[in-house]
Structure 1
Amino acid sequence: MREGSLPSEVISIQQIQALGVNAADIKKLTDTGIHTIGQLLQMPVRKLLLVKGLSEAKVEKIREAAKKLGGEKGSFRSAIDVLRADESRIRITTGSKELDAVLGGGIETGSLTEVFGEFRTGKTQLCHTLSVTSQLDAEQGGGMGRVIVIDTEGSYRPERVAKIAEARFGLDPTSVLDNIRVARIYNVDDQIDSNFAIAAMLAEEEEPTRLIIVDSVMNLFRTDYCGRGELAERQQRLNQYLGGLKKIAEEFAVAVVLVNQVTANPDSTFAGADAKKPIGGHVLAHASTVRVYLRKGKGEQRIAKIYDSPTMPEADAVFALAEGGVVDAE
């Protein structure tokens, strides 16, 4: 894979037309958000049968064509092949060497990283910084790619990103902002549907996207679903949304950062329990590959704790918020 390109295994859904699949049937798939062979093979057959105009015979023909191009999803690989794939993932610097170290090198592509904490702990400032660093060259710890922002709170500030880009990294702020696509989302339905728009962009554009920011992931789910009577439906739809994001992250080698809120922990009276816990329940906990807890320190200092990670131990990192975004604490 050349630097800055999409993963070589990403194959456009349009290629199954050469194997005898009708163009009209391919359009039905793209209209439902399926743009690559990988997405098609990840889709359960029962959901494909819900697509209007696709019979059981057509679905079988489409899947057979996809398997010829993309192989069997879920087929076995040796552990060494899995390891090599993991080692090839890009890690995007947070702007702080100490924070990068506890994360194993930075924010990892192909994964969902959840960042949670109270207000003014640096969550959105981290996103502003990552919006710039993800565009840097690999030698600078960057991802050499574009950024997509799903803004559910109205907290994303392009002027802040521009200042970080120019003052700290000496980049042209106009060029940096031109590489960032922002969607202001106001309800859960549009938030879930944004996955389809993201997949379409990533499949069609030649320039790679390396980072997707969702700030915040739970805000609209808390607003649109109230009370215990709607909790089951909320969690079901949240699971659907996060599952879609995880597939996008893996398919397109994109890092996904989920900003999350916290609530009081009723178990905090017990020894060793935190006073705050992330919202979203077990659904969000299991979907996130890495979970990072931010809290306030002295002055502009902030403390990041690795709350959960499959590869890194629990550890703290101290960083600071400055004009240049997230930086190492002095």
Structure 2
Amino acid sequence: MNHGSDPDNSSFDHKSKKESLSIDLLSDLPTELLSQLKKTGLLSLKDIVIEGPFELSAKSGISMDDCNFIYNQAIAYLEDVGIMEKRFTPATTIYDKRKKIGRISTGSKNFDKLLGGGLETGAITEVYGEFGSGKTQLCHTASVIVQLNRNQGGLDGGALYIDTENTFRPERIETISRARRQNPSQTLDNIIVARAYSSSHQELILSESRRIIEAQNIKLLILDSAISLYRSEYLGLSALSLRQQRMNKLVHSIMRIAQTHQIAVLLANQVQSSPETGFGNTSFKAAGGNIFAHSSTYRIFLRKSNRNRIARMVDSPNHPESEIVFSIDESGITDPQKI
């Protein structure tokens, strides 16, 4: 199959990019199978990869064997055009590619240093802590900064803000924008907000988000909070297994979205009491159990410290455990003022 050359990004608009990844590229498929696949509404190779073979089979009625073949063909094409890593890649190639990875500033130099430069594209950054620890403030600040150019800490893109706790406030966006000398109206226009009212509604929004990401040049996906609706709906030990299954499916879908669309994902998570003593004599741990612990690329615990906040890197594939101090003011997340 001849894929041709990858057009220059400056002239490669979102419409042509979407069309170039059409499932029609799966030319090895029988016509009737391709027709059946199109009826699911999954028209892009990225959609197929994000769904996975099991969900693809459930939605289309196509056998698992055929769906595994379709999935592997889609992966192979995305590898071929450089969207996903090839199956066998020299470590030097991955290292060189990571040097060019996109990052979004948090607004705080201290916080950016903790993350190795900011919120990373193609990765999930999870922040958790008690109320008032700065989770939602970080979400608001990042959704403003992502719109700046790369030299200013942004990615020249928009933000998709999935709000499950009714915590998004456009007034706060306006305040942060003015403090950072950005146009509030333009900033608000570049933030797409989706209010989720149930866990199934949240999953539907996430499924439909792929269209928004492509059409609106989204570079940052925010879930605030990722787990609250599941915790409120699946109560008791009898519902625990189903809840964990649903959350596992959710977080792996988020992971595939981050990787195939090369966007940054910021998850705000809740905490739950723990009989074990954590760092700083706190007795809280992130909600969600091992599902989120194994799926998030970076896990950061936030806590109050008088007028400031402390962020601690709890889990990372390439950062040591360390902590920094940051503050919150009119401009959102920032560094403490030196006295």
Q: TM-score range by the shorter chain?
A: 0.7 to 0.9
Q: Does 1:313 align with 2:334?
A: no
C-alpha displacement at 1:43, in angstroms? Answer: 5.1
Number of the residue aligned with 1:169: 180
SS at match of 2:258: helix
**1:1-330 matched pairs, under 5 angstroms:** 2=9, 11-16=20-25, 21=31, 24-30=35-41, 34-41=42-49, 44-52=52-60, 54=62, 59=67, 62=70, 66=74, 69-71=77-79, 75-166=87-178, 168-203=179-214, 205=215, 207-268=216-277, 274-299=282-307, 301-330=308-337
| Conserved 8 A contact 2:158-2:219 | yes
Which stretch has the larger CA shift, 115-124 or 53-62?
A: 53-62
Identity of aligned residues (%): 35
The range that moved more, 179-188 or 64-73, is: 64-73
Change (3 A) 1:68 1:112: closer
The runs of at least 4 aligned residues of structure 1 exceeding 6 Å deviation read 3-10, 17-20, 270-273
14 and 116 in structure 1: CA distance in 2 versus 1, 3 angstrom threshold: same
Aligned partner of residue 131 in structure 1, secondary structure: helix
79-88 or 58-67, larger mean C-alpha shift: 58-67
Compared CA separation, residues 42 and 182, structure 1 to 2 (3 A): closer
One-letter amino acid matched to 2:313: I
How far apart are residue 76 of structure 1 and its match? 1.5
Deviations 1:165-217 (A, max 9, x none): 11x221111111001111111111111122211112224x1x52111110011
Alpha-carbon spacing, 1:275–1:194, altered in 2? closer, same or farther (3 Å):
same
Q: 1:80 to 1:29 in 2, by over 3 A?
A: farther
Unmatched segments (≥5 aa) in structure 2: 1-7
- TM-score norm. by structure 2 comes to 0.85
- Distance in 2, matches of 1:60 and 1:266, equals 43
Q: Offset at 1:58?
A: 6.6
TM-score, normalisation: structure 1: 0.87
Gap regions ≥5 residues in structure 1: none
Paired residue total: 322
Q: Over aligned residues, Cα RMSD in angstroms?
A: 2.9
- Which letter maps to 2:167? S
Contact 2:50–2:253 (CA under 8 A) maintained in structure 1? no
